[in-house]
Amino acid sequence: MASEQWTPGGAHVPVLLDRVTSLLAPALESPGSVVVDATLGLGGHAEAVLQRCPAAQLIGLDRDPKALDEAQRRLGAFGDRVTTVNAVYDEIGDVLAERGIERIHGVLFDLGVSSLQLDETERGFSYAHDAPLDMRMNQEGGGRTAADVLNTYDARTLARVLRIYGEERYASRIATAIARQRKNQPFETTGQLVEVVRAAIPAPARRTGGHPAKRTFQALRIEVNGELSTLERALPGAVDALAVGGRAVVLSYHSLEDRIVKRLFAARAASTAPPGLPVELPEHRPVARLLAKGEVPDEAEIETNPRAASARLRALERVRTHGEERP
């Protein structure tokens, strides 16, 4: 979850808050309606939805136990209207099945890294502070760290990760420099990585486009946490779990994330009738309609919360299931 600007004990500023709540609210008017916040984070969006939709029950998922602790404190006033679960968002199906829930009425994904994770320097997500190269969103869950990736991937594989996930123009140069450097000393800290990346990028390129290590850090974070593959597994199931009239809202912060969302939403909103069929049969009708197609924050919001600058919002409404269709 990348949209909340966080300071310990301070304000939480979720991106596109009013738009997110206004999109979800029409589906959450009936008593017992269920909304899933698949990336609960610090609970900013969840709090606003619960305030605006007093009939709704919320299930909040997050893989980061520290974020869950913060969210639980924030949402404590809502009592038993809130259930929090330490889970990755591709586990939505299991979470619902364990609670006997067949259909939900809303689902929100706020993708990427949270401000809590960025601002806790010891997590290793930030290139602005020297810290251990970790980057795991759940440090209690085991798994490889960014240091493991840097020290064990061959240069060709590492270059592919940087090129695809970071859209890094100089991926091969950086990967070669990393492979050369680790022969002398394994990578352990973010400061080591920043120095190598900065030296590998030509001087003219370092003067434009922000911090030279920004794309490398993004790529490593996505690789360590399996973010894109997790989204590809999670999103279809979440949309298919929606009741007729239910709504899905997704905030993405990376072009590859947004592409996955755009394609899935477009497929659900398209007819499956074979070309040339004279009459569209009921089973070929779209199962959803698009509500938002890549909306972005306005300049005022970006000025207030610069981390929202890359956000893209997409939303759809379920209009048909196998046994029910919206009039």
Q: Nearest CA to 64 among 89, 84, 41?
A: 41
Question: Binding site annotation covers 170?
Answer: no
What pLDDT digit, counting tens, does each position of 275-324 carry?
A: 767 776 777 789 999 999 999 999 999 998 888 899 999 999 999 876 56
Task: Between 284 and 214, name the one with better pLDDT.
Answer: 214
Give the mean pLDDT of 121-134: 79
Question: Binding site annotation covers 105?
Answer: no
Question: Binding site annotation covers 62?
Answer: yes
Architecture of the domain delimited by 17-116+227-318: 3-Layer(aba) Sandwich (3.40)
Question: Binding site annotation covers 45?
Answer: yes
**Domain positions in the chain:** 17-116+227-318, 139-224
Whole-number pLDDT of residue 114: 63
What pLDDT digit, counting tens, does each position of 41-84 carry?
A: 999 999 999 999 999 999 999 998 888 999 999 999 999 999 99
Whole-number pLDDT of residue 18: 96
Q: What is the average pLDDT score of the chain?
A: 89
Position 9 confidence tier, pLDDT thresholds 50, 70, 90: very low
What pLDDT digit, counting tens, does each position of 158-192 carry?
A: 999 999 999 999 999 999 999 999 999 999 999 99
Instruction: Indicate whether 10 pLDDT > 70.
Output: no
- The conformational region for residue 190 under phi > 0 = left, psi -120 to 50 = alpha, else beta, is alpha
Q: Are 123 and 131 contacting, i.e. CB atoms less than 8 angstroms apart?
A: yes
Give the mean pLDDT of 208-233: 91
Question: Binding site annotation covers 110?
Answer: yes
Q: Nearest CA to 91 among 153, 43, 138?
A: 138
Q: By CB neighbour count within 10 A (0-12 exposed, 13-18 middle, 19+ buried), where does 208 fall?
A: exposed
Instruction: Indicate whether 11 pLDDT > 60.
Output: no
Question: Binding site annotation covers 44?
Answer: yes
Q: How far is it, in rounded angstroms, from Cα 115 to Cα 117? A: 5
What CATH number does the domain located at 139-224 have?
1.10.150.170
Distances (CA, A) of 100 to 72, 96, 103, 104, 320: 23, 6, 9, 11, 22
Whole-number pLDDT of residue 126: 80
- Read off the pTM: 0.87
Whole-number pLDDT of residue 275: 77
What pLDDT digit, counting tens, does each position of 234-267 carry?
A: 999 999 999 999 999 999 999 999 999 999 999 9
Q: Are 16 and 39 contacting, i.e. CB atoms less than 8 angstroms apart?
A: no
Q: How far is it, in rounded angstroms, from Cα 191 to Cα 217? A: 12
Q: By CB neighbour count within 10 A (0-12 exposed, 13-18 middle, 19+ buried), where does 277 fall?
A: exposed
Q: Are 112 and 137 contacting, i.e. CB atoms less than 8 angstroms apart?
A: no
Whole-number pLDDT of residue 8: 39
In terms of DSSP bridges, do strands 57-62 and 288-295 run parallel, antiparallel, or are they unpaired? unpaired
Task: Between 117 and 104, name the one with better pLDDT.
Answer: 104
Question: Binding site annotation covers 117?
Answer: yes
